[in-house]
Structure 1
Amino acid sequence: MAETSIDSLKGTLAQKRASAEAQGQAVRALKASGASPSEVESAVNSLKALKVEVEALSKELNSRVSENGGGNRDDFRQGVVNALERRLFYIPSFKIYRGVAGLYDYGPPGCAVKSNVLAFWREHFVLEENMLEVDCPCVTPEVVLKASGHVDKFTDLMVKDEKTGTCYRADHLLKDFCKDKLEKDLTLPEEKAMEYKRVMATLDDLSGKELGSKLKEYGIVAPDTKNPLSDPYPFNLMFATSIGPSGLSPGYMRPETAQGIFVNFKDLYYYNGNKLPFAAAQIGQAFRNEISPRQGLLRVREFTLAEIEHFVDPDDKSHPKFKDVSNLEFFMYPRDEQKEAKPFKKLQLGDAVKKGNINNETLGYFIGRTYLFLTSLGIDKERLRFRQHMANEMAHYAADCWDAEIESSYGWIECVGIADRSAYDLRAHTEKSGVQLVAQEKFAEPREVEKLVITPSKKEVGLVFKGNQKKVIEALEAMKEAKAMEVRANLEAKGEVEFFVCTLGQSVTLTKNMVSISKEKKKEHQKVFIPSVIEPSFGIGRIIYCLFEHSFYTRPSKAGDEQCNVFRFPPLVAPIKCTVFPLIQKSEYEEVAKLISKALTRARISHKIDITGTSIGKRYARTDELGVPFAITVDSSNSVTVRERDSKDQVRVSVDEVASVVKDVTDGDSTWTDILSRYPLHSSYSSDEGVLIGDIHSKS
């Protein structure tokens, strides 16, 4: 894989540079010690050889980076975007008013691709798992998002150009600086490279003060004007609004769709017969007031999310269908590999769960199903990886979290987040609303159970930690049993203990009067518990953009003087499944085309008739750029040709059969190879444009 080979080259280059530096020191030491000329000459020759190797490796690395989106990355991206905007897949919103950053409109083919992706998502997840689908409002009361933590915590650190007032995300500026240095400065010393990698790995850990310090240390200024920047300060990303004419009921445009599912848990649980596990799903719009939107569809202010909340007993996270995906093998990047800066590699899903890299079967199951979903859409499996969150990226309540990342011209892009969120969300809404969002399991016989009881003293915690009281209490209540017993032992032995609070990013000192931790035995007739949640969250716009890039390629036209753009969409997501072309403007052919169109409509195959007088080659080129997989050319009243977009191969099929042939391939019941084996290959068309050789005029 390209990424691995580039990383390997970088490692080899670093080793050779270190060897060259060591050899240089050896040469200087020999000269200083008065060694013989022959010894010095031999050492110098070795140094020269190492320098030649370093230069050769540097050139090869430059070449590889360019081939894989380095030097040509911007040109490739611009080619894709130009084709997408020209064919109206998407365009900037409010274009005639010069647009608004971070807002885009989908045109007809873009809407069709999006609709097909969402239809397949429903089929692949909602139908397969018998999920309960809901549709909740975008406008959300403040109290809901206060309980979930979004009002207090949904912020990014922002800096301003001190002269123009232009705003930027502080972490993006720092990340871009480090990434640019690592990718383009091939003379970068190894120590500095490791420093930049450490900064990128710990961005989420940096406080506003630390982030500002790094910006100043590296001399980072406003990218557009080179003006100095302000110190970083928090900015809440939610769009505020008010509900009702009085303005007294504050609300927000939802930043995610998940909270609508959580607040409906009690009713959904009842609807499901009071049984676990079950999953609820929602597709809908979400809104984030991004500080400095960029990267087209990858970072926008309004976007479509498809989210699943799978509710499960926290003591049993097995999955009955895990064996269906356990043999899948694909690129994974566990946190231990990231810590040591090792390249990611292919792992078997079953092994990753068995070894504990992935926390549990249900989380692993959804990782596997997500891999199958993305690759079925047309995402290149060699440019798809699942990266585990580092410890500093995860919330204190999360058991595990993985991102499906897709490589694009912008680098690796997080497109799906798959997290085990434990019971945090339902617990938070239970406390805020006073409604018990719990599940029950009745026992056939009473059971004696030992329960961990953690009781923080709100008064004592509040007196010491004041505004941070809630964060400290949440962290205490989220403790696992082993950690809780350790804290209790230290409190009993020493009277106090240092306790790390993830949401504060620092340790605090607890004393005995702040928390009571005990284990109690009691008989229970049923188990009442707050379910854990495994949450796969899909950024549909990001997936679609990466699909556009992975599907795009160019090929020379017949004349050879220009390149033709092609989107190799699988039939599953193609905006139009086939086109119907009368070869020439002739009433007989046009009537046959209309009959075929009716048959395609009855088969529910999206299609388009083109009866313009344009040459057949140009019509093929137009639809190739739209990603249409098949073209039917009418050149007689009895049979027609069917052309496949990427191979440009054509077969001859009778008029009566052609609709069923196209349906078989677009539905996935047959492959194009199957069709080639069933029907005669049509060779009277040129391989480039499908134009009849020699007898166009005779047919007219």
Structure 2
Amino acid sequence: MSVEDIKKARTAVEFNRENLESVLRGRFFYAPAFDLYGGVSGLYDYGPPGCAFQANVVDQWRKHFILEEDMLEVDCTMLTPYEVLKTSGHVDKFSDWMCRDLKTGEIFRADHLVEEVLEARLKGDKAARGISEADVEEDADKKKRKKKVKQIKAVKLSDHVVKEYNEVLAKIDGYSGPELGELMVKYNIGNPVTGEALEAPKAFNLMFETAIGPSGQLKGYLRPETAQGQFLNFNKLLEFNNSKTPFASASIGKSFRNEISPRAGLLRVREFLMAEIEHFLDPEDKSHPRFHEVKDVKLSFLPREVQEAGSTEPIVKTIGEAVESKMVDNETLGYFIARISQFLLSIGVDETKMRFRQHMANEMAHYAADCWDGELLTSYGWIECVGCADRSAYDLTVHSKKTKQKLVVRQKLDEPVEVTKWEIDLTKKLFGPKFRKDAPKVEAHLLNLSQEELASKGEELKNNGKIVFKVDGVEGDVEMDDKFVTIEQRTKTEHVREFTPNVIEPSFGIGRIIYSVFEHCFWSRPEDTARAVLSFPPLVAPSKVLLVPLSNHKDLAPVTAEISKLLRREKIPFKVDDSGVSIGKRYARNDELGTPFGVTIDFESIKDGSVTLRERDSTKQVRGSAADIIKAIREITYNGASWEEGTKGLAPFVSQSETETETE
């Protein structure tokens, strides 16, 4: 089987999600948590192959990013005090929009509800227009498909309405709560089962709240992301890096989000593994020294302007062209987008099912300079799996302001420069009599004003003879005149430049990536559709080798033990299957586990020490000494060699029973 033949075979049988989920759960890649007690929505346990696959993906992530980019890894606590997440904005803004059926109490996530109802209506329109069932329900087998099509109300929509629905679906990630409510009213979207009207969407904070300590007075949350620990350790990381920038930190760990309506298996869960990078750089220089290495990487982009036009047709161009045209804001952001794509391809993502979608204006945080989501196409649609954002200096700035601690880089200048800045002088002796116990809070507030805030207050003081402002923890407005405060611009000569670095943040949802790879790697053999295959790249496959004695004959046991010893010495994960079933069945059930290689031990092995090596996808076999076979496995698995390159010194193997064995 050639590479082209394998590609044809992988697409010959229509993808079936139910078959995939049957394999994943049947082989215990993962399963619902607390299954004996009926399970809890959005929580899953990984079994042995799932654990191994996840560990291999994380290992590849570490090598691809932390080692190759010389990043500083940290492991921060999952329990986070209220004040930290209040400062970062999560307490006020980390929400999704939910709507409730007041009669049944059922809760829906508003954007998902609008999306699902409009998609169902479009499918009904296709059914009414006589479009084939395969186009109406692409993700189901024939029997199931017919059942689903009957459940869809076949109603023909006007061309204008079809266009409107498609435009809404193209922009679904960018709508606010009130806008979703307007769509629900406009398109008469209610409870999809009962048809009852739903209350207007309300914001629901996704963080799990808890109390730290026995008194319950220290309020906290389970972290919704790993980023905040990296920001709070910035000064320590900067010192560890000899006070040099740019540099990047990285963290891998569990995060928690109390999803409104968990669905789609591993794609939307309440506890999940994240891998995040915070790349700290000079706001005046966002170039990247290694950008030239990736500038020719071609990617599919879905920029803001295309989405706003109601289209989902991607633009294909190199990352170099995207940065040069300013479609992608800067080199460092572009560099990481390209590196993200390379990582995803290395673990088994289908290149044709990957795109980078730019956040629309109403979707992007106010402080962000640019943001792109790495999305992967699954049977559930396009799924956001990686976010890559230029977060400007927001995080370090808000934490610095709250804690009154400087989170800055001090850079010695080659030549001194004259700098004009706003400065504030306080007549502190007047603060005590006027503000009493609140004096320290008022003083701290004024001393932590930004240049923009000082400029505004300076103008206010000049025009009104006084300034009025609010201070956290102080009741009412604070007012003071020019006897208390002086605000003016001054020019000074500086020998050190002090700046708050900007942050480029690639953020990976490992579970979503893993599930997408499951779908991209799953196929059924055309000659026997009951035989499923997971074509994981050898690098991330849970186990690399299936060791198969031809029979249970006692004479084969010493050879099996010797080859097992060699594989252990080479640190190559393997399994021995000496069960009594046929070799064909043993290979077939390990194809479902994604095992890329099979090593068969037969009676010739006893005579000359030779064994047979089988490749999972093509079922090609070669013969050679155990040492040469293991060398080939290592070259293909860990050094990136192709099957042809890795086995070029081995003899092709064809036996009379080969066809029979593979189809048993």
TM (norm. structure 2) is 0.81
Letter in 1 for 2:279: H
| Aligned counterpart, 1:350 | 320
The Cα shift of 1:685 comes to 5.2
When residues 206 and 129 of structure 1 are mapped into structure 2, their CA distance, relative to the original with a 3 A threshold, is closer
Distance in 1 (CA, whole Å) between partners of 2:339 and 2:365 is: 24
Task: State the Cα deviation string for residues 104-146 of structure 1 (Å, max 9, x = none).
Answer: 0110000000000000000000001110000011110001001
When residues 478 and 382 of structure 1 are mapped into structure 2, their CA distance, relative to the original with a 3 A threshold, is farther
The Cα shift of 1:442 comes to 1.1
| Aligned counterpart, 1:449 | 419
Structure 1 residues 292-301 or 388-397, which shifts more? 388-397
Q: Percent identity?
A: 51
Aligned match of 1:109 in 6, 27, 49?
Answer: 49
- Is 1:408 matched up with 2:378? yes
Aligned match of 2:240 in 264, 271, 275?
Answer: 271
| Aligned counterpart, 1:622 | 589
The Cα shift of 1:478 comes to 11
Letter in 2 for 1:164: T
1:135-154 aligned at under 5 Å gives the runs 135-154=75-94
Q: Which ranges of structure 1 fall in alignment gaps of 5 or more residues?
A: 1-66, 456-472, 493-515, 694-700
Structure 1 residues 516-525 or 248-257, which shifts more? 516-525
Distance in 2 (CA, whole Å) between partners of 1:453 and 1:176 is: 55
| Aligned counterpart, 2:614 | 643
Letter in 2 for 1:658: I
When residues 96 and 478 of structure 1 are mapped into structure 2, their CA distance, relative to the original with a 3 A threshold, is farther
- Is 1:680 matched up with 2:620? no
Task: State the Cα deviation string for residues 345-387 of structure 1 (Å, max 9, x = none).
Answer: 3101111111111111100100010010001111011111111
Contact 2:167 2:310 in 1 (8 A): no
Aligned match of 1:375 in 338, 341, 345?
Answer: 345
| Aligned counterpart, 2:150 | none
The Cα shift of 1:477 comes to 6.9
Task: State the Cα deviation string for residues 426-477 of structure 1 (Å, max 9, x = none).
Answer: 001011111111111111321123568999xxxxxxxxxxxxxxxxx9xx97
- Is 1:312 matched up with 2:252? no
Contact 1:684 1:692 in 2 (8 A): no
Contact 1:325 1:349 in 2 (8 A): yes
- Is 1:165 matched up with 2:118? no
When residues 344 and 521 of structure 1 are mapped into structure 2, their CA distance, relative to the original with a 3 A threshold, is farther
Distance in 2 (CA, whole Å) between partners of 1:688 and 1:229 is: 60
Aligned match of 1:87 in 14, 19, 27?
Answer: 27
Structure 1 residues 217-226 or 444-453, which shifts more? 444-453
Task: State the Cα deviation string for residues 499-547 of structure 1 (Å, max 9, x = none).
Answer: xxxxxxxxxxxxxxxxx99986542211111110000000000000000
- Is 1:546 matched up with 2:513? no
When residues 269 and 689 of structure 1 are mapped into structure 2, their CA distance, relative to the original with a 3 A threshold, is farther
The Cα shift of 1:208 comes to 3.8
When residues 518 and 418 of structure 1 are mapped into structure 2, their CA distance, relative to the original with a 3 A threshold, is farther
Distance in 2 (CA, whole Å) between partners of 1:76 and 1:681 is: 34
- Is 1:176 matched up with 2:122? no
Task: State the Cα deviation string for residues 73-106 of structure 1 (Å, max 9, x = none).
Answer: 8x71111111100000010001111100000011
Letter in 2 for 1:247: G
The Cα shift of 1:652 comes to 0.5
Aligned match of 2:207 in 235, 238, 245?
Answer: 238
The Cα shift of 1:196 comes to 2.6
The Cα shift of 1:589 comes to 1.3
SS in structure 1 of the partner of residue 362 of structure 2:
helix
- Is 1:100 matched up with 2:40? yes
When residues 173 and 263 of structure 1 are mapped into structure 2, their CA distance, relative to the original with a 3 A threshold, is same
Contact 1:298 1:545 in 2 (8 A): yes
Greater relative CO, 1 or 2 (CA 8 Å, sep 6+): 2
SS in structure 2 of the partner of residue 260 of structure 1:
helix
Letter in 2 for 1:317: K
| Aligned counterpart, 1:331 | 300
Contact 1:319 1:362 in 2 (8 A): yes
| Aligned counterpart, 1:127 | 67
Distance in 2 (CA, whole Å) between partners of 1:145 and 1:665 is: 46
Distance in 2 (CA, whole Å) between partners of 1:452 and 1:398 is: 25
Aligned match of 2:550 in 583, 590, 615?
Answer: 583
| Aligned counterpart, 2:631 | 660
Letter in 1 for 2:537: P
Distance in 2 (CA, whole Å) between partners of 1:618 and 1:298 is: 32
| Aligned counterpart, 1:527 | 497
Distance in 2 (CA, whole Å) between partners of 1:690 and 1:68 is: 24
The Cα shift of 1:222 comes to 1.9
Distance in 1 (CA, whole Å) between partners of 2:92 and 2:335 is: 33
Structure 1 residues 662-671 or 543-552, which shifts more? 662-671
Contact 1:686 1:692 in 2 (8 A): no
Contact 2:371 2:388 in 1 (8 A): yes
When residues 427 and 610 of structure 1 are mapped into structure 2, their CA distance, relative to the original with a 3 A threshold, is same
| Aligned counterpart, 2:442 | none
Contact 2:635 2:646 in 1 (8 A): no
The Cα shift of 1:202 comes to 5.0
When residues 691 and 391 of structure 1 are mapped into structure 2, their CA distance, relative to the original with a 3 A threshold, is closer
- Is 1:612 matched up with 2:579? yes
| Aligned counterpart, 1:572 | 539
| Aligned counterpart, 1:288 | 257
Contact 1:297 1:542 in 2 (8 A): yes
SS in structure 2 of the partner of residue 391 of structure 1:
coil
Letter in 1 for 2:247: F
SS in structure 2 of the partner of residue 678 of structure 1:
coil
Letter in 1 for 2:223: R
Distance in 2 (CA, whole Å) between partners of 1:479 and 1:306 is: 35
Task: State the Cα deviation string for residues 33-55 of structure 1 (Å, max 9, x = none).
Answer: xxxxxxxxxxxxxxxxxxxxxxx
Aligned match of 2:408 in 431, 438, 459?
Answer: 438
Letter in 2 for 1:639: S
SS in structure 1 of the partner of residue 520 of structure 2:
helix
The Cα shift of 1:689 comes to 5.5
- Is 1:420 matched up with 2:387? no
Structure 1 residues 637-646 or 215-224, which shifts more? 215-224
The Cα shift of 1:289 comes to 0.3
SS in structure 2 of the partner of residue 572 of structure 1:
coil
| Aligned counterpart, 2:5 | none
- Is 1:260 matched up with 2:200? no
What is the RMSD of the two structures over their aligned residues, measured on CA atoms? Answer: 3.2
Letter in 2 for 1:409: S
Contact 2:422 2:451 in 1 (8 A): no
- Is 1:399 matched up with 2:369? yes
Q: How many residues align?
A: 577
Distance in 2 (CA, whole Å) between partners of 1:315 and 1:358 is: 17
Letter in 2 for 1:577: K
Task: State the Cα deviation string for residues 526-585 of structure 1 (Å, max 9, x = none).
Answer: 11111100000000000000000000000146xx5x520100001011000011001011
Contact 1:648 1:687 in 2 (8 A): no
When residues 188 and 688 of structure 1 are mapped into structure 2, their CA distance, relative to the original with a 3 A threshold, is farther
- Is 1:216 matched up with 2:156? no
Q: Which ranges of structure 2 fall in alignment gaps of 5 or more residues?
A: 1-9, 127-155, 426-445, 463-485
Letter in 2 for 1:106: Y
- Is 1:301 matched up with 2:270? yes
Distance in 2 (CA, whole Å) between partners of 1:587 and 1:681 is: 28
Contact 1:631 1:644 in 2 (8 A): yes
| Aligned counterpart, 2:153 | none
Letter in 2 for 1:219: N
Distance in 2 (CA, whole Å) between partners of 1:133 and 1:567 is: 32
SS in structure 1 of the partner of residue 91 of structure 2:
helix
TM (norm. structure 1) is 0.77
Contact 1:258 1:309 in 2 (8 A): yes
| Aligned counterpart, 2:198 | 229
